[in-house]
């Protein structure tokens, strides 16, 4: 496993991180989740990413159970706050001081830990003054409940504003978690250069475009049985936008010979491509089977040549999303 510094901090993360967004307590049972986590540990992965909203808090509990017996100091445990959880009352979401304090208390209890290494603001909250949010987060850092701060899918201007406030409060805002893949490159124009200048590193999600870049979804063919697109509890809705575009599926198939020439699977090619970005500290990979995370981890030390990167660009052509506005938008009003 390769390890990279996160932004300008002293924290190192495994370049392949394990995430349980659509799997734990949703797509797979607890026994399989346990085996996937142990496969990640055996592959050298130390960074584990979850969120309070995943499976309405249950994913945190499953991850904690799977990590039983693991030395806490040997891993980086990360979770998130923003989206509604629990009974979903008017204050059960957002980035208010109240919700942040209550959310971290719940996450720490479920994760069976005294602190999290990275606490992500899962979206920007237009309903709460940014100074209130950063003040509440600073309190958590100063209390030792959170070591580093991150944002996920925030507008670029708000990232810069939050970074300035974090400096005033003397807390480390050093991480951003956006969607990023060969097919979805909306962060390259604005987010990446801004974050690089500020000392913020990327820990990206969906590096395989919800599985599209594995090549398993052939144009004009039924989705494979047992795949994410076939499982209503495993994120079928998330992958639909790609499946509705046959031109994307056709272009992705053109990556097969590129992967073969590099002695990589298509999934490994997708991960290796993401890791060519200097501002990316880690790519989050999920798994519904242990062998998937083992395969993903093997991509960590593969360097792609400029010629290979050019072949990838030529294969995908104009189906790549590059519009900066395609970076996930935060709701203007809190979800209920």
pLDDT at 162 exceeding the cut of 80: yes
Q: Binning pLDDT at 50, 70 and 90, where does residue 98 land?
A: very high
Domain assignment of residue 260, yes or no: yes
Report, as an integer, the average pLDDT of 324-336.
80
Domain assignment of residue 333, yes or no: no
Question: Residue 110 is encoded by which pair of tokens?
Answer: 């479920």
Report, as an integer, the average pLDDT of 211-226.
78
pLDDT given for residue 220 in this prediction: 72
Report, as an integer, the average pLDDT of 165-183.
97
User: What is the distance between the alpha carbons of residues 145 and 88, in angstroms, rounded to a whole number?
Assistant: 24
Domain assignment of residue 19, yes or no: yes
Domain assignment of residue 43, yes or no: yes
- Catalytic residue selected from 18, 54, 124, 148: 54
Report, as an integer, the average pLDDT of 183-197.
97
pLDDT given for residue 231 in this prediction: 64
Domain assignment of residue 332, yes or no: no
Domain assignment of residue 249, yes or no: yes
DSSP type of residue 148: E
pLDDT in tens, 269-308: 999 999 999 999 999 999 989 999 999 999 998 999 999 9
Domain count of the fold of the chain: 1
User: What is the distance between the alpha carbons of residues 182 and 188, in angstroms, rounded to a whole number?
Assistant: 11
Listing DSSP states for 23-80 in one string gives: TBTTTB-HHHHHHHHHHHHHTT--EEE--TTGGGGHHHHHHHHHTTTS-GGGSEEEEE
* Residues facing 13 on adjacent strands: 4
Question: Residue 220 is encoded by which pair of tokens?
Answer: 């004009």
Domain assignment of residue 336, yes or no: no
Report, as an integer, the average pLDDT of 141-161.
97
pLDDT in tens, 4-53: 999 999 999 999 999 998 888 788 889 999 999 999 999 999 999 999 99
Segments forming the whole domain that contains residue 141:
3-326
User: 10 Å Cβ neighbour count for 320?
Assistant: 16
> pTM here?
0.93
Which CATH number belongs to the domain containing residue 53 in this structure? 3.20.20.100
User: What is the distance between the alpha carbons of residues 8 and 118, in angstroms, rounded to a whole number?
Assistant: 14
User: What is the distance between the alpha carbons of residues 297 and 281, in angstroms, rounded to a whole number?
Assistant: 14
- Helix pair angle (30-42, 290-297), 10° resolution: 20
Residue 18 catalytic?
no
User: What is the distance between the alpha carbons of residues 213 and 50, in angstroms, rounded to a whole number?
Assistant: 22
User: What is the distance between the alpha carbons of residues 148 and 145, in angstroms, rounded to a whole number?
Assistant: 10
Domain assignment of residue 335, yes or no: no
* Residues facing 31 on adjacent strands: none
- Report whether 22 contacts 287 (CB < 8 A): no
Q: Where are the alpha helices (DSSP H) in 97-172?
A: 97-111, 130-142, 156-169
Q: Binning pLDDT at 50, 70 and 90, where does residue 233 land?
A: low
């Amino acid at each position: 496993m390769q390890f990279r510094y996160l932004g300008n901090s002293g924290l190192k993360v495994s370049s392949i991180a394990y995430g349980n967004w659509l799997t734990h307590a949703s797509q797979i049972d607890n026994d399989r989740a346990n085996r996937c986590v142990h496969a990640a540990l055996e592959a050298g992965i130390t960074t584990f990413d979850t969120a309070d909203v995943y499976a309405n808090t249950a994913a945190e509990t499953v991850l904690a159970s799977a990590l039983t017996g693991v030395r806490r100091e040997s891993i980086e445990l990360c979770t998130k706050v923003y989206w509604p959880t629990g009974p979903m009352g008017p204050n059960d979401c957002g980035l208010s001081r109240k919700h942040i304090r209550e959310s971290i208390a719940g996450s720490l209890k479920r994760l069976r830990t005294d602190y999290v290494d990275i606490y992500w603001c899962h979206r920007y909250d237009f309903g709460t003054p940014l100074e209130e949010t950063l003040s509440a987060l600073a309190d958590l850092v100063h209390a030792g409940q959170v070591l580093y701060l991150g944002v996920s899918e925030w507008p670029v201007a708000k990232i810069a504003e939050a970074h300035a406030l974090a400096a005033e409060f003397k807390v480390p805002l050093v991480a951003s978690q956006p969607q990023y893949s060969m097919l979805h490159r909306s962060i390259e124009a604005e987010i990446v250069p801004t974050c690089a200048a500020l000392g913020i590193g990327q820990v990206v999600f969906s590096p395989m475009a919800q599985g599209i870049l594995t090549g398993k979804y052939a144009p004009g063919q039924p989705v494979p049985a047992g795949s994410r697109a076939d499982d209503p509890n495993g994120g079928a809705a998330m992958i639909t936008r790609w499946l509705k575009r046959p031109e994307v599926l056709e272009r992705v198939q053109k990556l097969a010979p590129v992967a073969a020439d590099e002695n990589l699977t298509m999934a490994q090619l997708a991960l290796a491509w993401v890791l060519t970005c200097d501002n990316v500290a880690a790519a989050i990979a999920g798994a519904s089977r242990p062998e998937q995370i083992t395969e993903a981890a093997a991509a960590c030390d593969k360097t792609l040549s400029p010629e290979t990167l050019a072949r990838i660009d030529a294969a995908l052509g104009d189906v790549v999303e590059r519009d900066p506005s395609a970076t996930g938008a935060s709701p203007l009003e809190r979800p209920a």
